[in-house]
A and B are shown apart, each in its own frame.
Chain A
Amino acid sequence: MGSFKKKDMKAGVLAIIICAMFISIAFSGCTQQQDEEKPEIKNPTTMVRYDIGDAKTLDPADAYDTGSSEPIFQIYDTLVTYEGNNTKTFYPCLATDWSVSDDSLTWTFNLRHDVKFSNGNDFTAEDVKYSFDRVLTMGAPESGVDWILGQCMDTNSTTVIDDYTVQIQLTQSYGGFLALMPYTVAAIVDKDYVEANGGVVAGEENVWMKEHPMGTGPYVLDHWTRATEIVLNRNPTYWGGWEGNHPERVVIKYADEPATRILALKNGDADFTYVPYANLEDVIGEKGIVVHPFDSYDVALLAINTKATNNEFLADGQVRKALSYAFDYDTAIDTAWNGYASRLAGAIPNGMPYYETQNNGQPYYDYDLTIAEQILDDGGYAKDYDLDGTMYRFNGTTIRLFYNAGNSERETMAVMFRAALDEIGILSSIIAEGWPQLLHRMYTTDDWDMMFIGWGPDYNDPDDYISPFIGSADIGQDTYNTGYMNATVDENILEGKYSADSAVRAAAYKAAYDIYIQEPSMIFLVQRQYIRPWRDWVQNYSYNPVREWYYYDYYKAYP
């Protein structure tokens, strides 16, 4: 028995040593000295980006999500475009130049003569007309993205003047028209190719075009494996040519797990990847990785339901004004956003035209509970409700703060805001619900008081922000169903929308803002920054909030 125990113990010790060796091998790299020399560039002619969220379609006529837009931007061209990080200037692309009539209704585009589609077909004005008419006829059955062109165009708008000139007669003048043109919905398809593959049927998607894109852009589709990757190869007939440094291949990979994406960046499989705020510490300061924040056009808002059935006090603009003073913006930036966000002056994000029309580009409200209390007291909303010895306002009515479950930034902001409301004598509660439940609540009931929401750009014009946020349902806006309506604000918004005169637009947006900010139906929380980690061997990357990822511009090399 004694010898058995001894053998048993020896065996146990040996087994533990084996296990320990296995674990130590796994961890040994943690303490390894990093090689000082630059590592060899992996896949030097292929640009690889790991992201979340696969494309839904590669048909520009029905694409309305960022996952689809990215490959479409590489495969198709538009008449005008943006370059680098510049959002202020429109650059020629398939159009060499353009002009507009004095009444801002007629736009004439002269087209490039040297462009071929990747199948060898010539690009002409017929393709431009066909592309726009196709969008408007198809009606983007899956996404509804046709609304962007439909704002000011119909199927009679585009006229072919000659092979290389098109004229677009707007159904009504629109200040943001040119800003629509670089968006994917205005990408140009080959008429002959589409007609040979299903053509255009009103109200129906073109299944072929969804998975078989063909354009004039720098890349052509090699393959798209759903939930895995989209691989693009050079378009040999690209009119921009292949002189200089450009990737031969582009791979957009999809990986849901942040740890996997981060390791891919660290081991060089990925040249770019998406890293959530919570994981940034894993890449900041890592050798060979550049991490840079950029101001995006994504904004975070707190919508106030001015017709809340549960809370009639929110109908009063003064109450909403007081609530705007009760949000601790700077602390929210530091805590909820890890510092990667900035203050927001109003509906129009910083960087977009006419941003300065909003209080000279400065936030109107700061966190000041004293002012908030003063406004409420002056408005007759004294603390009139005793709850266990603490006095509250609004007869003890609770303001319910909703956010979509799982959104940690919104949860943090809700907790902060609730504490501030408590300090000024307002009872509140926080409710997290699934996204479809929240949408149901917001759009089919008035059974909500305040809701944390967000918005990203469709195109680079303030009309894409100011109209849906502060315009009323009477002019087809009020996207968040807050019930806010001010006829003068609406008039100014429409004036800004339909004028092509920048001075008129600026004056109109300023007038709308000045009225709205005194009775806001939403609290403008923050403008997000996107963090873009990439390998230091990637050159020439630049961030553009309305047209990111243009791989033709990038290349791999050490400086």
Chain B
Amino acid sequence: MKTWEFIVRRLLLLIPVIIGVTIITFTVSHVIPADPARAFAGGPKAQPDVIERITKELHLDQPLWIQYFYYLNDIVHLNLGKSYLESRPVVDSLAQYFPATLELTIFSMLIAIPLGIVGGIVSAIRRNKLSDHITRIIAIVGYSLPIFWLALMLQYAFAYQFPILPLEGRLAIGMNAPSSITGLYVVDSIITGNLDTLASTLYHLILPAFTLGFATLALILRMTRSSMLEVMGMDYIRTGRAKGLSERTVIYKHALRNALIPTVTVTGLSFGGLLGGAVLTETIFNWPGMGRFAARAVLGFDFSAVMGFTILVAIIYVVANLIVDILYAVIDPRVKLGGG
């Protein structure tokens, strides 16, 4: 199977995945007897005409399966419904919040991936030495610290006791966001040449990106270390050394590429997971991203928003898996996409 055929086939798999996701989320959110129309219209203060309008808008006066049909029809037309909490289309909300999460995820990965891989390599090749112990402790701390605790402590230390970093948000208080081109403030500020905004964005990324990256770093570090140790004990590594290859060539050319496969898997899935929004990090650092949006939607019974979010996360996961599979082939030429 050619690469493009593999990609198309995997992308086509999105259709049953989305149908499955919508069936589950739609059923869960609609099966309990509830009055979302009145809730959205203001609860006890709701006016009858508004309740009626929302009931019609959501087709709540129709049987469940017809409601589902309408919902699917809307999805086909890229209409994910309306967020009643935000009083605007869900698509608009996702378009605003997804880039915020993407930016945070990218920067957290920029911290986690190089440090995690380098730390893992160092830890493996200097097994049971001081550097191994330090990286091992970093990994254990990163893996076991509750992320909300770390976030709160970092805020307390660096935004209150030693106020050298901002407490929360994507930009300084009251600062205008750059013109929205990609929604990624760093990219948009560079494109528009707005250096003040760029500086403020980067400054505000430090704490949340570090918090989010720390746990992922720990995971990548441990995975790289164990994978490297396994590979380093294999015959072909011994052969490489025996035939006089330099240690650098052995490690970086022969060991690392093979050891990276599980790391790539973990990194890819973490990336996908983080793109779905890191609820705690985003909430504590007041980062207007997907996780905070989803948490608000769930707590506010904003079903359309929850379902829109779920569909987007499902797509992200499928795409992240696909990218991981493609990366396998890039890293290891023996891997054939589609199983050959």
Contacts and interface: CB of A to CB of B under 8 A. Distances in A.
B44 A453 contact: yes
Interface string A6-46: 01101110111011000001111110100000000001001
B338 to A, nearest CB: 42
Contact of A227 (B38, B285, B293): B293
A256 B43 CA distance: 22
A418 interface: no
A88 interface: no
A97 interface: no
A259 B134 contact: no
A28 B176 contact: no
Query: Chain B interface secondary structure, helix, strand, loop or mixed?
Result: helix
A200 to B, nearest CB: 17
Interface in A268-317: 269
A231 interface: yes
B103 interface: no
A260 B155 contact: yes
Given A19-B141, A260-B286, A223 B152 contact: no
A437 B32 contact: yes
B288 A225 contact: yes
Given A257-B286, A437-B32, A229 B173 contact: yes
A12 B93 CA distance: 49
B184 interface: no
A48 B93 CA distance: 25
B160 A29 contact: yes
A54 interface: yes
A436 interface: yes
B296 A11 contact: no
Given A225-B177, A267-B167, A29 B42 contact: no
Contacts of A147: 47
A388 to B, nearest CB: 33
A249 interface: yes
A56 B160 contact: no
Given A12-B133, A19-B137, A226-B288, A255 B35 contact: no
A26 B153 contact: yes
A263 interface: yes
A64 interface: yes
Given A143-B42, A227-B296, 10 more contacts: A26-B154, A28-B161, A43-B173, A142-B87, A225-B288, A228-B169, A228-B286, A256-B292, A269-B173, A439-B44
Contacts of A269: 167, 173
Contacts of B9: none
A48 B154 CA distance: 23
A444 B34 CA distance: 10
A140 B87 CA distance: 13
A495 B293 CA distance: 47
A14 B130 contact: yes
Given A8-B133, A260-B167, A249 B42 contact: no
Contacts of B134: 11, 14-15, 18
A228 B154 CA distance: 21
A443 B157 CA distance: 50
Interface string A455-493: 100100000000010000000000110000000000000
Interface of A: 4, 7-8, 10-12, 14-16, 18-19, 25-30, 32, 43, 46, 48, 54, 56-57, 64, 139-144, 147, 210, 222-223, 225-229, 231, 249, 251, 253-257, 259-260, 263-264, 266-267, 269, 406, 434-437, 439-441, 443-444, 453, 455, 458, 468, 479-480
B167 A444 contact: no
B39 interface: yes
B41 interface: yes
Contacts of A10: 130
A11 B232 CA distance: 23
A55 B93 CA distance: 14
A455 B44 contact: yes
Contact of B130 (A11, A57, A256): A11
B39 A435 contact: yes
Contacts of B176: 222-223, 231
16 contacts: A4-B128, A11-B133, A14-B133, A141-B50, A141-B53, A144-B47, A223-B176, A226-B288, A227-B296, A231-B176, A256-B283, A263-B160, A267-B167, A436-B36, A479-B44, A479-B45
Contact of B34 (A57, A225, A439): A439
B288 A228 contact: yes
Interface string B67-98: 00000000000000000011110000100110
